[in-house]
Chains A and B, each alone.
Chain A
Amino acid sequence: MSHYVIIGSGNAGVTAAETIREHDKKSKITLINGESKRFYFRSSLLNYVKGEVKEEELLARPKKFYQLKNIDLLDNIRAQKIVPETKQVIIDKDNIIKYDKLLIATGAVPVFPDIKGTELRGVKTCRSFADVQEIIGLAKHSRNVVIVGGGILGIELAYSLSKLNNRVTLLESETRLGGKLLDPCTAIRVLEELGKKHIAVRLKEGAKELRGKEDHVSEVRTSKGKILKTNLVIFCTGIRPNVRFLHGSGLEIDKGILVDNTLRTNDVNIFAAGDVAQVNVAEKGEHVLRQNWYESAKMGEVAALNMIGESATYYPAVRYHCTNILDIPYACIGELSPKSKLRKEYEVIHSNCKKTDDHKLFILKKNRIIGASFFGERNSALAVKELAEKNVDVGGAKRSFLEHNFDFENLLPRISEEKED
């Protein structure tokens, strides 16, 4: 009987615990939860801000789940250090947990840009349940809110807060919204939609300095020198893997924990999964981060199978991201902004974003789909994702991609071989 220890009870951690228990009924599983709230749907936090979801509904597993599955859950405890030589996780002086197999699924923490005044009260990030609760509390007492960072989180948070009767200003230092996850046409459409909802967007403008009165933020100075009066500033400027406590442990770390395709670190008994893992891609010769709800669950499952001695592999093949932006369905698949050096190799097919309501974009390389995005109607997103995953040659049909109702499922290889009776 071995002892599995999982640090972090997010999507990857809990999925891993679940998978281990499915295959191994007897072993001891310890799950270390760093937050006060048990595993919840992180992606639904913004719906919680809007008031569409109650706190009760945020929990992602039934209340009796941990008891039923016989998982020892340690709430509100953070691991301070791990010692691979003696197979120990150190919580504090008195509490040391010994493991046989360890999974690190500590997720990611938000980053602040390096500017003055981020320590003031009223300066927040939006990542955990605690953050969101504080934001709701602060938003009640502030008319003007400044959100720094125009990624999908920034856009959605701006929309949620504007629904709570706040006047929101969105700062984005790039020339367009959405970063890598939105294609240029969609970014323009989103910008228009934000304008309709009376959310001020300032492009090519970042926050340069925060000033405060009595330790509370009162104004933001932007990089263009404009001063915005506010008493709530929220940074949505990205996340980084939560690996600080691992320094000095001997694990290989770049941005995240470096793992191979079985999600094993350089220590045989230690695995990593979720936002914290940086997975090897042999073709590119580098390790990549895949910070996404769906990928986390996938990684958790693969890591768990390898921990109990079965073999499974995880390949960060095709990125798939589906969400609603300002209540309009959006899906993006694969790479949307390939490196400009190689632009000649790519073929881009896209609908006229001014004419149609539904925007579609496909990026092809050697007649194979490597990227696509759908804004509005996205019925065929799953089929296109499968086409990209299976690397299907679509050269014959690419001319009709933009047709209304084009059937992508027809291009997929046949599911079953013909059977003769």
Chain B
Amino acid sequence: MFHELLEKEVREFLKQCTGCGKCMEKCPIPESDNMLIRSLNYAAQKKSMPTPNTINFAEKCMQCGGCNTVCPANCHREKIMLWLKARISRNLPKGYKKVLKYKGNKLSFFERIGKYLELRKKNHILDNLRKHVDKKNLKEANLLFYFGDSVYSPSKAAHKLLAIADYLKTDYEVLAGYSYCNGIQHYYSGLLKKAEQMHYALYDAIMKINPTIIVTLTGEDYEAMKNLQRHWHQKFILKTATEWLMDNIDKLKMKSGKQKITFHDSCILSRKENKKNVPRELLNKLGTVTDLPQDQGLCLCCGFFRAEHSPEEMKEIQTKKLDQVKTKTLSVECINCWNNLAPIAEQKGLKITDVISLVYESIEKEIEEEIKNEVIDEGETEE
């Protein structure tokens, strides 16, 4: 399904492209200076493999979407690049062969056989992922927190958000962990089929819970939920964590502070979904917000989609970005941005927080008191 949809879209974009080259000017990847629009378009159009140069560039594209913001014809160059990636990934060795290519030479004979069997089993699970995902313990709820793998983030934003939800005494269900992966990272790496399998598995789980509101922490989770909404016409209302906090702002007794905060926009939430005002509104209640100087706050990507593949280059881009921060605190909305920027920020002695943690910190005492009271209450009833 993803494959056909993307192909259809890309065919249209290729016709609309007027070749002005603005996307390549905007592109944060150094190789973009030498890329020609005609060769990129031609590579996306033809069926045979692109040139090594183009493959290299496509693999480095991190899908930040900056190219779309400058395109006069409203083409999504990032989708054309994704199409190229999907094509390239199809031609790469798969499964057992892939392991052999990357790790195989160091393995002994028996290890190889073990690996082969393990992969066979894994592939079998992946093909029927829908059946293997545990749906027994899910109950129906109005409010669903969908965290995906952002729940593992050391920022503990997910836990804090749930603590706030408890404090507000709301009834909710949580969907998190690797088994409910959103598949967006696979999608943006061009592994459309894997992403599709995860999409279906997630669809089943959400159908079971049948929520009216879904709250997400990261841009990727948001996009995955949006895909569900689009493809299946689900009626739920989709919200980012900051939007949900804004809805409940009256119930939270937040203290305004004087701290200065630099805000880093998320590529999906701020650029694609155009939600750049919500976190700023929330942060303005806690302190004063400044943007990163690059083009009105719509700055470079944190490197989430390519960080694993070219860590050195990503580090360079991230350092360049953090050099522009003039305040002591840097705040992000998307937890994946946090995960990617935190190590570099630590090196620079920069305090990096996410919006939820900032809100949590400002009402931490009240939450703790609430918990104490509850414990006492429970103690009394037991007696």
Give residues of chain A (10-59) contacting chain B, Cβ–Cβ below 8 Å. 15, 18, 40-44, 47, 52-53, 57-59
User: Beta-carbon contacts of B171-210 to A below 8 Å, as 1s and 0s?
Assistant: 0000000000000000000000000000000001000000
Nearest chain A CB to B321 CB, angstrom units: 24
Closest to A63 in B: B38
- Cβ of B92 within 8 Å of any chain A Cβ, yes or no, is no
Are the C-beta atoms of A62 and B39 separated by less than 8 Å? yes
User: Beta-carbon contacts of B306-335 to A below 8 Å, as 1s and 0s?
Assistant: 000000000000000000000000000000
Are the C-beta atoms of A409 and B72 separated by less than 8 Å? no
Q: How many A-B residue pairs have CB under 8 A?
A: 91
- Cβ of B231 within 8 Å of any chain A Cβ, yes or no, is yes
Are the C-beta atoms of A405 and B21 separated by less than 8 Å? no
Are the C-beta atoms of A57 and B230 separated by less than 8 Å? no
Chain B CB within 10 A, most for which of A18, A42, A410: A410
Q: Give A43 to B72 CA distance when docked, in angstroms.
A: 10
Closest to B37 in A: A57
Number of interface residues, chain B, beta carbon within 8 A: 33
Of the residues B45, B72, B231, B273, contact of A324 by C-beta under 8 Å: B72
Are the C-beta atoms of A47 and B21 separated by less than 8 Å? yes
Are the C-beta atoms of A378 and B74 separated by less than 8 Å? yes
Residues of B within 8 A of A331 (CB): 74
- Cβ of B110 within 8 Å of any chain A Cβ, yes or no, is no
Known: A57-B37, A415-B230. A381 touches B74 (CB 8 A): yes
- Cβ of A379 within 8 Å of any chain B Cβ, yes or no, is yes
Nearest chain B CB to A34 CB, angstrom units: 20
Known: A322-B74, A329-B74. A65 touches B20 (CB 8 A): no
Are the C-beta atoms of B19 and A44 separated by less than 8 Å? yes
Residues of A within 8 A of B42 (CB): 61-62, 65
Are the C-beta atoms of B18 and A57 separated by less than 8 Å? no
Are the C-beta atoms of A405 and B16 separated by less than 8 Å? no
Are the C-beta atoms of A41 and B231 separated by less than 8 Å? no
- Cβ of B138 within 8 Å of any chain A Cβ, yes or no, is no
Are the C-beta atoms of B232 and A44 separated by less than 8 Å? no
Are the C-beta atoms of A418 and B20 separated by less than 8 Å? no
- Cβ of B260 within 8 Å of any chain A Cβ, yes or no, is no
Q: Give A42 to B19 CA distance when docked, in angstroms.
A: 9
- Cβ of A323 within 8 Å of any chain B Cβ, yes or no, is yes
Residues of A within 8 A of B73 (CB): 43, 293-294, 322-323
Are the C-beta atoms of A59 and B18 separated by less than 8 Å? no
- Cβ of A377 within 8 Å of any chain B Cβ, yes or no, is yes
Give residues of chain B (151-181) contacting chain A, Cβ–Cβ below 8 Å. none
Q: In terms of DSSP, what is the predominant structure of the interface of chain B?
A: helix
Are the C-beta atoms of A416 and B232 separated by less than 8 Å? yes
User: Beta-carbon contacts of B256-290 to A below 8 Å, as 1s and 0s?
Assistant: 00000000000000001111010000000000000
Residues of A within 8 A of B15 (CB): 15, 294, 297-298, 301
Of the residues A47, A297, A322, A416, contact of B231 by C-beta under 8 Å: A416
Give residues of chain B (97-152) contacting chain A, Cβ–Cβ below 8 Å. 130
Known: A416-B231, A418-B232. A44 touches B274 (CB 8 A): no
Number of interface residues, chain A, beta carbon within 8 A: 42
Nearest chain B CB to A278 CB, angstrom units: 20
- Cβ of A414 within 8 Å of any chain B Cβ, yes or no, is yes
Residues of A within 8 A of B275 (CB): 405
Are the C-beta atoms of A382 and B74 separated by less than 8 Å? yes
Are the C-beta atoms of A294 and B21 separated by less than 8 Å? no
Residues of B within 8 A of A60 (CB): 19, 38, 41
- Cβ of A421 within 8 Å of any chain B Cβ, yes or no, is yes
Q: Give A378 to B19 CA distance when docked, in angstroms.
A: 20
Q: Give A189 to B204 CA distance when docked, in angstroms.
A: 49
Closest to A54 in B: B21
Are the C-beta atoms of A61 and B20 separated by less than 8 Å? no
Are the C-beta atoms of B72 and A379 separated by less than 8 Å? no
Q: Give A15 to B16 CA distance when docked, in angstroms.
A: 12
Known: A60-B38, A323-B73, A405-B275. A43 touches B19 (CB 8 A): yes
User: Beta-carbon contacts of B24-60 to A below 8 Å, as 1s and 0s?
Assistant: 0100000000001111011001000000000000000
Of the residues B21, B25, B39, B229, contact of A44 by C-beta under 8 Å: B21
Known: A62-B42, A382-B74. A44 touches B231 (CB 8 A): no
Of the residues A294, A323, A377, contact of B274 by C-beta under 8 Å: A377
Of the residues B14, B230, B231, B274, contact of A405 by C-beta under 8 Å: B274
Are the C-beta atoms of A293 and B18 separated by less than 8 Å? yes
Q: Give A57 to B17 CA distance when docked, in angstroms.
A: 14
User: Beta-carbon contacts of A395-412 to B below 8 Å, as 1s and 0s?
Assistant: 000000000110001101
Q: Give A382 to B272 CA distance when docked, in angstroms.
A: 13
Are the C-beta atoms of A41 and B72 separated by less than 8 Å? no
Closest to B75 in A: A322
Chain A CB within 10 A, most for which of B38, B41, B272: B38
Residues of B within 8 A of A329 (CB): 72, 74
Residues of A within 8 A of B25 (CB): 52
Q: Give A404 to B278 CA distance when docked, in angstroms.
A: 12
Q: Give A418 to B232 CA distance when docked, in angstroms.
A: 6
Closest to B68 in A: A379
Give me 28 A-to-B residue pairs in the complex whose CB atoms sit less than 8 angstroms apart, sorted by A's number.
A40-B19, A41-B19, A43-B73, A44-B19, A52-B22, A57-B36, A57-B38, A58-B19, A59-B38, A60-B38, A60-B41, A61-B38, A62-B39, A62-B42, A65-B42, A293-B73, A294-B15, A301-B15, A322-B16, A322-B74, A329-B72, A331-B74, A381-B74, A404-B274, A405-B274, A409-B230, A414-B233, A416-B232
Chain B: residues with CB nearer than 8 A to chain A?
1, 5, 14-16, 18-22, 25, 36-39, 41-42, 45, 72-74, 130, 204, 229-233, 272-275, 277
Chain A: residues with CB nearer than 8 A to chain B?
15, 18, 40-44, 47, 52-53, 57-62, 65, 293-294, 297-298, 301, 322-324, 329, 331, 377-379, 381-382, 404-405, 409-410, 412, 414-416, 418, 421
* A43-B19, A416-B232 known, 5 other contacts, Cβ within 8 Å: A43-B20, A294-B16, A301-B15, A405-B274, A415-B231
